[in-house]
Structure 1
């Protein structure tokens, strides 16, 4: 569905104009998610280079420090600080309920890319961490609001597809640093993290062109233009929905508790522990990207045909198993786990993104997305810290993987207490309250 359609709205308000998942506004929102993905994943992809540049082999206790240059605990604290900073995305995301999705997304993207470019010239490790910590919540807010825009611009038949496009955009941005490091390793010296971060300045130059394609969803525009008394309630979560938000946030916490460390330490583990070269990673990356795209298609099909909740449940358990495999079988496990986590994680994304959009009303949708982002942030931070400490204490990444993956698998039961929203429009699945 690519043409515009209109649906009548309640109370005699103007009709809502809905578009297909290929509408320029949705595609442009995916580009903004790509910006966010690059900002948030560049440090992860270049972590071996960062550890080597700022650390000294053997500068901490344990074998991990001797292998990578910084101890697992030091890296866990630094990465935890950067991740934890994403809690700042909540007040930013809430502004999208009061002042418009488009405006907030443009401002946060501009600032996130600018700070990432600045980080390229930072001379000391902890100052470098501080700058990235400021950029992180801006990128998180960008991604959250981009998903809200995509969800609100399309009918229910296209919602999982539109949100899959947002996930794909984020994945492209997150995967770009990996591809760049692999390509440069093949043709010469692998690209350094400073040059990689400086590329954010080039993306910054494209932002005005992409911004012209993004429109404010009609649902959001009607609320932002509402009378002042109504506007005061925007972003306030009613008591009737707080339990639902808490449950979604808790489920998000546990999946991030898994994916935070599993994805973040992957390239450090593969390159510095198993000896997998960046060039080999570059060969695997296109395959993994293809599997990620296949996972999105599979996730959309399953979420639309069998429901959001069953799809979220099976994929979360499978993701935990893939996480354990990643750190349990040397180079083979790292490669297989990399591919499988992308496939399964991509299958998981459309279902949970659609659910999170469909069970909350428009007046708090961006705020809910902000809270969910915060829950994911806290989960990822604790996962990073615990993974790093366990890896140091046990001298094993495998043990650390079990510690973060098993609780995530157990938490899957919580999805049974969320409503199934398949085939429901936003006004049916989450009517305005108050």
Structure 2
């Protein structure tokens, strides 16, 4: 095949060294990911695969037939290497298309009306080669990423399991795996409500649940700057977010991190499109099991005591937490409100009055009654239980009794 009176294949082959340098230069200037590669790699491995592909292009033209599977092996190997290095697939495919476009400029240089038949055949060969290259490179890249992702996921799973089981000594690693834990973790317990699309059963509900979880994980991964260690299902679970090495010591670090953690939980709730309760504390690897148990209790208490969705810590529910410890006083505290059994309006009034900070007008608005009705009901509570909401000491007992009754 000839263009402008010259055989195309030999002309392309002769120009491979110079064309390869031009392609490599454009990769460096037009694709940021290639500009970030080490110079020796760009001028070595990358330049080599560019030259090999351009020579393959010349072979295809001279033989007038597409390459066989064996002739694409080097391109597949290169794609696997780029996958290991974390070069995005779209950048790799763009590089191949860029090289093909520049090769086509060489092929069509000086073409005139009399070259139309040969140009049509050349164009068909070019498109076919690009199709085969795209298929071979994409397949090899995705195969390599699948292996790497499986290894990475397995490593994270092994580390998470070891942390939850308390099997990592200070400064150590989980047995049989080389992934080192972070110096400390923000331990999160999450309780997720259902997304509206999860209503009902069947594929739609299951898909909605998986999409909800994926969006939550994306937010957690963005906070961590890497895949977070998570054990989550549609109702919630546990997440361990590595604390940056330069973070303050754990006690002060928890305070420093709190605004960011609160923002992350809000973002996760927005992304999930569902109600989200969470609790967090910072722990060293050896303290993760206790932190997981404690944050789980904090989340449960926040939900049981009628608090709004959001992020909580132990200090937010200290009274409730302490009152739920095993004690002979707990059932007796709960029994103080037994005279209100059968009078739900009185119990609801006490709960709302306490929740509203002893503001009778706010409580009345929440209960949709007149403030005088709140006063009357509180007097009835005092008559039945012997505990007056107007007395500071009795009010503290009423609050503790409410907590004991809930738990």
TM over 0.5: no
| Structure label with greater radius of gyration | 2
Q: Provide TM-score, normalisation by structure 1.
A: 0.21
Q: Provide TM-score, normalisation by structure 2.
A: 0.22
Kindly indicate whether structure 1 or structure 2 has the higher relative contact order, using CA contacts under 8 Å at least 6 residues apart.
1
1 or 2, which has the higher strand percentage?
2
